[in-house]
């Protein structure tokens, strides 16, 4: 064959494993030109890429012939589905993949790392002109604009917002000083008493630095003095978390936080006009109270843990994250919505289908202490009962409680019964052992059992004495 330039050679467009090319062996020593097959050239050694270089595969190949595949099994591998999407194929059939929202397995989303609240239907309420969410992700001190971009909480006061870890441990400008206000005079936050249109939900993540503050500390609301007008969510000096609907006759919900540790809590206050008000802590309904006709002279909507006696003095160290306010008719599945908001804003993981519907939701796991409320029952043979703080733990819809109380029986050897309130409310069926069951015993040898009655638990036993006995009680119940 006559000498030819390389550019004059016939071009080969399909390479076989046995095709050969020239190679110079040991070029820095005893250089010798040799031949090598394509298979040995590529497959005999690991391929090491230089820094910041990539292997770019064909982005038009589909699941039947993925560009990253295996010798002898070329219809199994990884391929590009579309922009920011990759798929996994096996036998030429898509079996999963991933995109910017998470992973997909056989058509179902798995391990979704939910983003911050956006006010989408995924959050449980749509992002409308009456829903406002402040994520505190601006990365700097200053005014906080909601995710819709229409409502601003103006940062005022002598102290700037300072950086501290949010509920996930990410440093953000979310911490109030002794004089930090986040306020608005926008009338969109004013509440009247018209059915449905004046329902509201207020809440978010609050880092509470002091469970027994020197003055009542309002976490959020539309009142400057906790009197006569507006609504508020606040921690009182006695360590009781309270909601307040303020008018001629105030109505409140109380939840004991005296034994809670300093830290982050997801707290939500909801009002349903003419029906009730509700208090949720960490996704759990912990209290329900009466509605009230509230005073409508409301001038200052605020978050930041301000002292109710002087709204310019705040509880230093209060932190805020993903707080929100929604005005309008409450969803019929309010408890599910609040639990979903809690899970999403805590960045919990869930398994969803491609339409975004939850297929497998992580169980709610929470715990705490509370002080049960004793209710006497007529003819119950109990002169008095003084409960102590009880411990509770919730896993999914099952709540387990242990605690003690001092019981003073009227007569010995007599059937006795009384009721204690629950740490998380539940619409249990009366007398149902399926909904609630447990045991109780006293220091004097009285033994009994626990069952559901009137949204509480009823303890029934035969008294051993006609005096005071220390009782231990342990039971579990179902949230309904």
The whole-number average pLDDT for the span 177-206 is: 88
Residue 409 DSSP label: E
20 pLDDT more than 80: yes
> Would you state the pLDDT for residue 262?
87
The whole-number average pLDDT for the span 114-127 is: 59
> Would you state the pLDDT for residue 313?
58
- Is pLDDT larger for residue 436 or for residue 104? 436
Residue 422 vs residues 222, 337, 339, 386, 477: alpha-carbon distances, Å: 30, 21, 18, 15, 9
Handedness of CA 407, 409, 410, 415 (dihedral sign): positive
112 pLDDT more than 50: no
> Tens of pLDDT along 21-38?
888 888 888 888 888 888
Q: Look at 69-73, 310-314, 448-452 and tell me which has the smallest mean pLDDT.
A: 310-314
If pLDDT is split at 50, 70 and 90, which confidence band does 114 have? very low
Q: Assess contact for 245 and 278: CB atoms under 8 A.
A: no
- Is pLDDT larger for residue 58 or for residue 388? 388
The whole-number average pLDDT for the span 337-358 is: 64
Length of the chain: 480
> Would you state the pLDDT for residue 479?
85
Report the percent of the chain where pLDDT is more than 90: 16
Element containing residue 338 per DSSP (H, E): helix 334-345
Q: Assess contact for 210 and 347: CB atoms under 8 A.
A: no
- Is pLDDT larger for residue 247 or for residue 368? 247
419 pLDDT more than 90: yes
Q: How far apart are the first and last CA of the chain?
A: 90
> Would you state the pLDDT for residue 397?
82
Residue 429 DSSP label: P
> Would you state the pLDDT for residue 273?
94
> Would you state the pLDDT for residue 299?
76
What domains are there in the chain, each with its CATH number? 12-43 (no CATH), 121-347 (2.60.120.200), 367-478 (2.60.90)
400 burial class (0-12, 13-18, 19+ CB within 10 angstroms)?
Answer: middle
Q: Assess contact for 196 and 220: CB atoms under 8 A.
A: no
CA dihedral 407→410→414→417, nearest 10 degrees, is -50
Q: Is 274 left (phi over 0), alpha (psi -120 to 50) or beta?
A: left
């Amino acid at each position: 064959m006559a000498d030819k330039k390389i550019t004059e050679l016939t071009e080969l467009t399909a390479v076989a494993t046995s095709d050969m090319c020239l190679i110079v062996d040991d070029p820095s020593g005893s250089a010798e030109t040799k031949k090598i097959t394509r298979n040995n050239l590529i497959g005999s050694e690991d391929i090491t890429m230089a820094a910041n270089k990539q292997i770019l595969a064909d982005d038009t190949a589909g699941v039947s012939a993925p560009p990253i595949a295996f010798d002898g099994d070329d219809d199994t591998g990884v391929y590009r589905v579309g922009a920011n999407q990759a798929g996994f194929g096996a036998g030429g059939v898509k079996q999963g993949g991933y995109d910017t929202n998470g992973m997909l397995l056989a058509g179902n989303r798995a391990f979704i790392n939910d983003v911050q609240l956006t006010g989408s239907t995924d959050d449980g309420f749509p992002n409308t002109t009456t829903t406002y969410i402040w994520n505190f992700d601006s990365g700097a001190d200053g005014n906080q604009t909601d995710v819709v971009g229409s409502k601003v909480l103006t940062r005022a006061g002598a102290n700037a917002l300072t950086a501290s870890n949010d509920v996930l441990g990410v440093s953000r400008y979310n911490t109030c000083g002794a004089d930090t206000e986040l306020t608005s005079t926008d009338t969109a936050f004013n509440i009247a008493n018209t059915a449905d249109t004046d329902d509201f939900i207020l809440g978010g993540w609050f880092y509470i630095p002091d469970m027994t503050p020197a003055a009542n500390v309002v976490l959020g609301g539309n009142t400057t003095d906790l009197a006569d007008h507006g609504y508020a969510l606040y921690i009182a000096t006695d360590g009781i978390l309270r909601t307040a609907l303020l008018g001629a006759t105030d109505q409140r919900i109380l939840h004991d936080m005296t034994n809670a540790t300093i830290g982050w809590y997801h707290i939500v206050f909801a009002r349903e006009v003419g029906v009730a008000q509700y208090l949720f802590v960490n996704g759990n309904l912990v209290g329900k109270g009466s509605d009230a006709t509230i005073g409508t002279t409301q001038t200052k909507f605020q978050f930041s843990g301000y002292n109710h006696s002087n709204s310019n003095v705040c509880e230093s160290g209060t932190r805020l994250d993903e707080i929100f306010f929604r005005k309008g008719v409450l969803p019929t599945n309010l408890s599910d919505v609040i639990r979903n908001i809690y899970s999403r804003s805590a960045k919990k993981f869930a398994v969803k289908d491609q339409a975004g519907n939850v297929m497998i939701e992580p169980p709610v796991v929470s715990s705490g202490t509370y002080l049960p409320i004793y209710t006497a029952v007529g003819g119950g043979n109990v002169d008095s009962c003084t409960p102590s703080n009880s411990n509770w733990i919730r896993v999914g819809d099952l709540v387990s409680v242990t605690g003690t109380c001092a019981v003073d029986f009227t007569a010995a050897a007599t059937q006795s019964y009384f009721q204690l309130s629950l740490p998380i409310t539940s619409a249990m069926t009366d007398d149902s052992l399926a909904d609630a069951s447990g045991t109780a015993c006293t220091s004097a040898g009285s033994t009994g059992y626990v069952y559901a009655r009137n949204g509480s638990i009823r303890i029934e036993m035969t008294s051993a004495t006609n005096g005071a006995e220390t009782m231990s009680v342990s039971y579990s119940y179902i949230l309904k």
